[in-house]
Structure 1
């Protein structure tokens, strides 16, 4: 049940984000319980290796070696989701995770700097920009690795990259949400077109298209899939423009804005933390962007890092990502619900992925034109 007062909801939201962003360990002490509330723990058998959901994740030798060590994970995923993922992995495998979370640009600089100096300690790196993942491959950061599910994954579109040097761990999804204390149920927006209704003028929040790949992909989706004039209608709403999703969500939780185009995962996390926010999965579809993950040269020697890669691409790891509000990269399994919400599968027509090729061909132009249109 959601909190009945905006102030209490905002406190809960800010507390969850600040604790998760501290870095180190597997996140907050209650992350295992929060993760279990999102998705019940699966059936686990470790009598002869590690079998989760009937799928072999590690043989006995790898499991024993992994449990005797630990994993250093660098990630650009949201702080809260990264903490939950680390805690869930540790709960399912018994392997400790030390997590370092940075935005993609800063993470890219740190990884390349440490790799160049020969002191990259991360065994696994997760990056939300596929072009930066390509750069890691070119620089020799990522080592080729075949998970136990490699042959299955390799048959799927855009999951295995550069012969296993990195994988699409899952996709971020972008839709919209509203403050359900400020907006009456019969007034709530249900479609992308509803956001253009004049009643929302001055009450809409958006993150600028140059802030990252997810919002760049959303801008592309709005123009190419919804309507070539969609930006005209949205800019006419005089939206409040934010530089980051976290600040946008704080404003939405406080009621400073009433509706917002938002990343599904981070917004669902805020809702779970008690913010008075309701998400919408529009019938016309949602936009998606890549989250790439690879094993480093150091990780190739680390059993815990190899197990983390195996788990991420296993059914269990994929289902937990979906339960948090990501879209699973595996299309051979069902997309489990995110609480009360049902996101599409990666190969559904309603899920439109912004590809590296799209970013290279149109990215700079999209951002430049969006800035002009929204006078940003």
Structure 2
């Protein structure tokens, strides 16, 4: 996906028109990133200072504004567009985005790098094992020049491979409901509430083998809610989905009343007018890593270096949080996602599925989940 100058959530409206059909949403295509989070104070008189925090010195800022950021990302389309627009608004640097699933990036990026044709200065992926492979293949190169580097290096699970790549933020997983189908008095507030017989045949789940986020959710449910929780959910006769996007469309249409849900994509649908509300369960939420690194091509791109600096600035982290992610930095507060308050990354109620767990247990988690739910793929 080559970037166009889409405004806030226009990508959601374009790619997900079925999701919003008949939902009564209004004005999302005319919104701007400022409606999600007000622009901070920006001072570029001597370098770039955003919200009182130094992001770049004068020489890097000047060079970056004569450059263009080429960014490959496995993030969702709407999130990629929002982030690129916000970066441009705060820095004055233009962006070209190519968006595709992380598995596809893992095919394309090493191939282009090996042939000396890699254009991307920064690559963001949603799978820690892919990030590790990109570092092993020399695609990611160490970058420790961010003004926030010392903070990142001192924060658990943020700097990897001596600065070859970093945790940019975390995806959060919880659940959501259709506001037109669920009475206010019946709104569930906890994971245990999903076991109420009222939801039998009215719930949607994405199968645990569909990707790292839902695999992490399955592990979270077993770890936090106990070994019998999968069986309780299975007894609800949920409808199975292979992708979160199709599940979200079904929830918005009222084909299901309640669904486990990725926070970022579901919040985007809510802003776009879908009759959906999210829940931050009292027992906590599950999380998975989003990784980002400067590439071998990015070593010669001031715009790419500026984007790395900005990603972990206070402003960059807060904008990620405003979209429904959980920031990697724990020295600043987790910015609210609209009306919702997600936990900080170091809060005990946020349970992250680590790369080590994914490598050691992932296949077994999926196998046992499939057996518990009688799911044959």
TM bin (shorter chain): over 0.9
Q: Structure 1 residues 253 and 18, CA, compared in 2 at 3 Å: closer, same or farther?
A: closer
Contact kept? 2:121, 2:297, Cα under 8 Å = yes
Write out the 4+ residue segments of structure 1 that deviate beyond 4 Å after TM superposition: 30-33
Give distance in 2, aligned partners of 1:302 and 1:344: 35
Residue matched to 1:306: 305
Residue matched to 1:95: 93
Per the alignment, in what secondary structure is the counterpart of residue 278 of structure 1? strand
Per the alignment, in what secondary structure is the counterpart of residue 222 of structure 2? helix
Residue matched to 1:276: 275
Instruction: Give the C-alpha shift of residue 112 in structure 1.
Output: 1.6
Give distance in 2, aligned partners of 1:267 and 1:259: 12
**Long gaps (5+) in structure 1:** 1-11, 20-29
1:62-88 Cα deviation digits (max 9, x unpaired): 101101110110000111111100100
Per the alignment, in what secondary structure is the counterpart of residue 169 of structure 1? strand
Per the alignment, in what secondary structure is the counterpart of residue 249 of structure 2? helix
**Long gaps (5+) in structure 2:** 1-9, 18-27
Residue matched to 1:6: none
Provide TM-score, normalisation by structure 1: 0.92
Residue matched to 1:35: 33
1:295-347 Cα deviation digits (max 9, x unpaired): 00100110000000000011000000000000000000000100000000000
Which of the residues 45, 56, 76 maps onto 2:74? Answer: 76
Which of the residues 117, 126, 133 maps onto 2:124? Answer: 126
Alignment of 1:142-181 (within 5 A): 142-146=140-144, 147-181=146-180
Give distance in 2, aligned partners of 1:33 and 1:189: 30
Q: Structure 1 residues 32 and 253, CA, compared in 2 at 3 Å: closer, same or farther?
A: closer
Residue matched to 2:136: 138
Contact kept? 2:12, 2:77, Cα under 8 Å = no
Instruction: Give the C-alpha shift of residue 33 in structure 1.
Output: 4.2
Which of the residues 61, 67, 71 maps onto 1:63? Answer: 61
Question: How many residues are aligned here?
Answer: 356
Contact kept? 1:32, 1:91, Cα under 8 Å = no
Residue matched to 1:194: 193
Alignment of 1:241-256 (within 5 A): 241-256=240-255
Contact kept? 2:40, 2:50, Cα under 8 Å = yes
Provide TM-score, normalisation by structure 2: 0.92
RMSD: 1.6
Give distance in 2, aligned partners of 1:290 and 1:266: 15
Instruction: Give the C-alpha shift of residue 106 in structure 1.
Output: 1.0
Give distance in 1, aligned partners of 2:14 and 2:232: 35
Alignment of 1:19-34 (within 5 A): 33-34=31-32
Instruction: Give the C-alpha shift of residue 17 in structure 1.
Output: 3.3
Per the alignment, in what secondary structure is the counterpart of residue 80 of structure 1? helix
Give distance in 2, aligned partners of 1:262 and 1:169: 21
Q: Structure 1 residues 70 and 18, CA, compared in 2 at 3 Å: closer, same or farther?
A: farther
Contact kept? 1:16, 1:273, Cα under 8 Å = no
Per the alignment, in what secondary structure is the counterpart of residue 260 of structure 1? strand
Give distance in 2, aligned partners of 1:293 and 1:189: 35
Q: Structure 1 residues 316 and 370, CA, compared in 2 at 3 Å: closer, same or farther?
A: same
1:182-220 Cα deviation digits (max 9, x unpaired): 111001111101111111111111111111111000000
Residue matched to 2:367: 368
Matched, 1:206 2:205: yes
Give distance in 2, aligned partners of 1:299 and 1:86: 17
Q: Structure 1 residues 231 and 13, CA, compared in 2 at 3 Å: closer, same or farther?
A: farther
Instruction: Give the C-alpha shift of residue 237 in structure 1.
Output: 0.8
Give distance in 2, aligned partners of 1:37 and 1:227: 40
Contact kept? 1:209, 1:370, Cα under 8 Å = yes
Residue matched to 2:115: 117
Instruction: Give the C-alpha shift of residue 375 in structure 1.
Output: 2.0
Instruction: Give the C-alpha shift of residue 59 in structure 1.
Output: 0.6
Instruction: Give the C-alpha shift of residue 31 in structure 1.
Output: 7.8
Residue matched to 1:24: none
Residue matched to 1:341: 340
Give distance in 1, aligned partners of 2:70 and 2:97: 6
Residue matched to 1:25: none
